[in-house]
Amino acid sequence: MSNINRRILIIDDDVEVRNAYQKILLPDTNKNTKERELMALLDANHTSQIQSTTEFHLDFASQGQIGFEMVKTAIAQQTPFALAFIDMRMPLGWNGTQTATKIRQIDPHIEIVIVTAYSDASISDIVKQVGMPDKLLFLRKPFEGDEILQLALSLTSKWNKLSYRTRELQNSLQQLDEKNHSLQHEIQLRQEKEQALKKSTQQLEASLLELKKAQNKLVEAEKMAALNTLVAGVAHEINTPVGASLTGISYLHTELENIKKAYDNEELEEQDFYKFLDTSMELTASMQHNLQRTADLVKSFKQVAVDQSHDQLRTFNLSDYLHTILLSLKSTTKKRLEITVNTPDKINITGYPGAFSQLITNLIMNTLMHGYPNSDTLGKVDINLSTDHRRVKLYYRDYGKGIPKEHLNKVFEPFFTTKRQSGGTGLGLHILYNIITQQLEGNVQLSSEINQGMQIFIYFPITLKKKTA
């Protein structure tokens, strides 16, 4: 402990008493051994300091008021007294009790010893008036020098220890206050960051919601685009047989008019009539064939279109339905793809035909766009269907350009496409993946090498159950 305070104030009206204090407390090289041992015993932790700096700093006052002013001045100069010896009876001015009370009011830390030879008031009354009994002692006159020395040493040491601990406590409180301020600042920063993060999260959630809405719209647009392609293809396919049938009917109508005219004019010969019959048979057979073809196309289109737009769980023959789908896509695939189908005659499943139709359509369109982008090249596709009585296995392969290795893990991601400049949306295989994994409750495996085409293995249950909302 550095800067030990040994300041002592003596308040006594008797000069001889003040001289006695000075003789006892001021340094003296001729101190006897007993006094030095007593000093060491009272302040064992600082023996070396006391032995080398045993000088008490004494100040004297002959009256209570003077002593009070000296205490006030010492406090103002930040050199407070550690101890005050106050005489009880002083003829002029305040007595010891009054003086101690006044001093205690301005300095709650000072140690006070009231010295008296007479009992003017009870100790309890004095303690009650002065206050802080832990810093108040009483010494009876006449006193021994050892008593004064003991009290001076012990009470100034006590004052210094309490002062040191008080400073430590104040420093700890200050550090605690600084840490508390720092913590509050950190909490405020963290709250601001949390608010900013919350705001960013809300903005991201809103953006994600908008993105999902946009994605759903694009998926629906992709489905409608596939349906429009189907409509356009079927319209093109129907145009040829319907046109041929119309031409045949017109020709037959003309021939009927010629026969009727010849008959009315009695110019009809047997040879002409038989020729008319042969021509009529050929025309009606051709028209029947073309109209039947038209009916089949309309039927397949109607079934596939209804399934794609209003898909319902039902039981159907998957093999027959595959051929129906390929027939509806014939206008798109003819002259561009040679499709080989290998399937049993009958695979009855309970599922979503529209989902299967969308699956096949997306595979075919993906092959046309990416596998064989050159419309002058005749591509090749293999489609195999099989079953193990629990699930359906669909094997699809084309022999086109293939997929680069670095793209294989991205092809099922939404909006991933290498044909954006050609109008690709990047949703074809993404929709395919969702159809297989969600609607058909299956799984899919894809493999590909550059210029070796693409292979897809698709597995899904033979029997699906209706999903509940």
Q: Cα separation of 67 and 181, whole Å?
A: 43
Q: Which residues lie closer than 8 Å to 370 by C-beta, 6 or more apart?
A: 400, 401, 403, 418, 419
Q: Which of 245-249, 287-291, 305-309, 462-466 has the highest mean pLDDT?
A: 462-466
pLDDT surpasses 90 at 421:
no
pLDDT tens sequence across 52-107: 345 799 999 999 999 999 999 999 999 999 999 999 988 888 999 999 999 999 99
pLDDT tens sequence across 262-321: 888 888 888 888 888 888 888 888 788 778 767 766 665 555 555 555 568 899 999 999
pTM over 0.85: no
Q: Are 449 and 458 in contact (CB under 8 A)?
A: no
Q: Which residues lie closer than 8 Å to 350 by C-beta, 6 or more apart?
A: 313, 314, 315, 462, 463, 464
Q: Which of 129-138, 412-421, 459-468 has the highest mean pLDDT?
A: 129-138
Q: Cα separation of 122 and 126, whole Å?
A: 6
Share above pLDDT 90 across residues of the chain, in percent, rounded to a whole number: 38
Q: Cα separation of 2 and 359, whole Å?
A: 90
pLDDT tens sequence across 4-26: 899 999 999 999 999 999 999 98
**Alpha helices, DSSP H only, in 265-314?**
270-309
pLDDT tens sequence across 111-163: 999 998 776 678 888 999 999 999 999 998 888 888 899 999 999 999 999 98
- Among candidates 260, 456, 468, 258, which has minimal Cα distance to 366? 456
Tokens 């009994």, located at residue? 133
Q: What is the mean pLDDT of the chain?
A: 83
Pairing status of strand 57-61 against strand 337-342: unpaired
How large is the average pLDDT for residues 443-447? Answer: 93
pLDDT surpasses 50 at 47:
no
Q: Cα separation of 12 and 8, whole Å?
A: 13
Residue 143 tokens read as 């006193």
- Among candidates 108, 103, 158, 114, which has minimal Cα distance to 136? 114
Q: Are 54 and 27 in contact (CB under 8 A)?
A: yes
pLDDT tens sequence across 177-196: 899 989 998 999 999 999 99
Domains of the chain in start order, with CATH, are 7-143 (3.40.50.2300), 311-469 (3.30.565.10)
Residue 231 tokens read as 């409509």
